[in-house]
Amino acid sequence: MPSVTYSSTRGGQKHLDFRTVVMTGLARDRGLFVPDTIPTVTKEELESWRSLSYADLSVKVISKFVQDDQVPADKLEDIIKRSCAAFRHKDVTPVVSVGGHKILELFHGPTFAFKDVALQMLGNFFEYFLETGSNEGRLAVLGATSGDTGSAAIYGLRGKKGIDCIILFPRGRVSPIQERQMTTVQDSNIHCVAVEGTFDDCQDLVKASFNSPEFRDRVKLGAVNSINWCRVLAQTTYYFWSYLRVTDDPAFKDAKVGFSVPTGNFGDILAGFYSKQMGLPVGKLIVATNENDILHRFFTKGEYHREPIQHSISPSMDICVSSNFERYLSFLAGNDSSKLAEWMKNFEETKKLTISGEFLERAQNDFTSARADTQMTLDTIREYSDKYGYVLCPHAAVGVNAIHQTGDVNETMVSLATAHEGKFPAAVKRAVDPLPTPPEQLANLLDLPTRVSECPNDLKAVQDFMQQRIEERMASASA
């Protein structure tokens, strides 16, 4: 069976292979790549996977999309198993029961955040594709981060041959621990760049660079943000894993499993949506937002309207335009690329996209949503610490608060804990004092030297910086 192929949401590129979409990132018509077909998993297959380790299960799930014509089976297994070996917990993403529901702990990777699952794999896929002929053996990764993507990308790409990694982050808008996780990495192929502005400004600079054909081709530009399909695909694995762990209990053997996902860019919950499309018995998918609630407004009122970012205690969700949402809009439009292109053109011109009628009804059948502001988030952190001795990070607390709002606190509801609370001590201390002892790896960051560059919020300045760093590395490599 051949591998799944991919087309742009906006219709400009069609039926590309996995290698190409991973190395390309953003489509050249400014759309995102989506699968042309969704492979299915039968109930019998799913049951046969129950006893597998996380890594072996991941091989089964990802090989539904990626066959030998893209990555030989033994190499795919090696890539996935090396990626999972970077995690501190034997289950990679363990499922625990707290407060009458489940929590999926996604913070046991190198940077204590859920993005490690995908970015360890993406780094290893990049490395394999470069070694086997892609891009003349070199790749310049440009990424934007609201906090966690940056460090996870850096830890996934540090020291990789032929790869330059430039990460833009909004100055003063990530937590001090998040910043130090990025800026203490000394590998010569890693460059952290502080930009005056917001995450959306950084993301706009990344997208504008991908939409500059001459620059894109000259530097061999690649993407680590969740615009890269590989990120979404890798994240489907923990939906399958957590479903199997919940239904290990005979009482829930035939149950559908729901998920509450704190989200800003929509990539994490989109992986759950695709898992459901594959046949995983998923119940509710709850979109949990903080004050930056463009997704909540869309699913309750049909209004995807851009508003200024509000600074919150869950900075990784301080996003006012969700870069992955176009993939879902494409699905909602019936994969009609002309309809989708019209929607996105209107949104880019007016900063507003409004749906109603059948479109809104379908969206509300696919997702539920809730919004938790700072006080609600702090109340949830305090309650779970006091009642259950379990300390949530501010993002995870948004997801937990959502299931209380929607009345979905039960043992078949999984709330995703997307980061370790030790990454956000200032926020958590407002609810829990004294704080738990932080993990040694986070505590040690305070003693390490840092390396950071600065750029204005200007496309030419960022591109010139990238070009200079690439030239310096290549000169050093040939010396």
Residues with a catalytic annotation lie at: 115
Closest residue by Cα to residue 184 from 454, 450, 479, 460:
450
Helices (H), 228-332: 229-246, 267-278, 294-301, 325-332
Give how far Cα 190 sits from Cα of 29, 52, 177, 396, 461, Å: 29, 35, 18, 29, 18
Give how far Cα 280 sits from Cα of 2, 5, 255, 258, Å: 22, 21, 11, 11
Which backbone phi and psi does 113 adopt, to 5 degrees?
-145, 155
Cα angle at 347 between 350 and 20, to 5 degrees?
145
Please name the residues in contact with 38: beta carbons below 8 A apart, sequence gap of 6 or more.
274, 277, 278
Query: Are the CB atoms for 445 and 290 separated by under 8 Å?
Result: no
Residue 116 CA to residue 452 CA, distance in Å, equals 22
Beta bridge partners, 139, equal 163
Instruction: Identify residue 329 by its one-letter amino acid code.
Output: L
Beta bridge partners, 453, equal 193
Query: Are the CB atoms for 265 and 287 separated by under 8 Å?
Result: no
Q: What b/e sequence results for 161-188 when a residue is b if at least 16 CB atoms lie within 10 Å of its CB, and e otherwise?
A: ebbbbbbbbbeebbbebbbbbbbbbeee
Residue 106 CA to residue 93 CA, distance in Å, equals 5
Dihedral angle sign, alpha carbons of residues 166, 170, 171, 177: negative
Give how far Cα 46 sits from Cα of 55, 64, 232, Å: 15, 12, 20
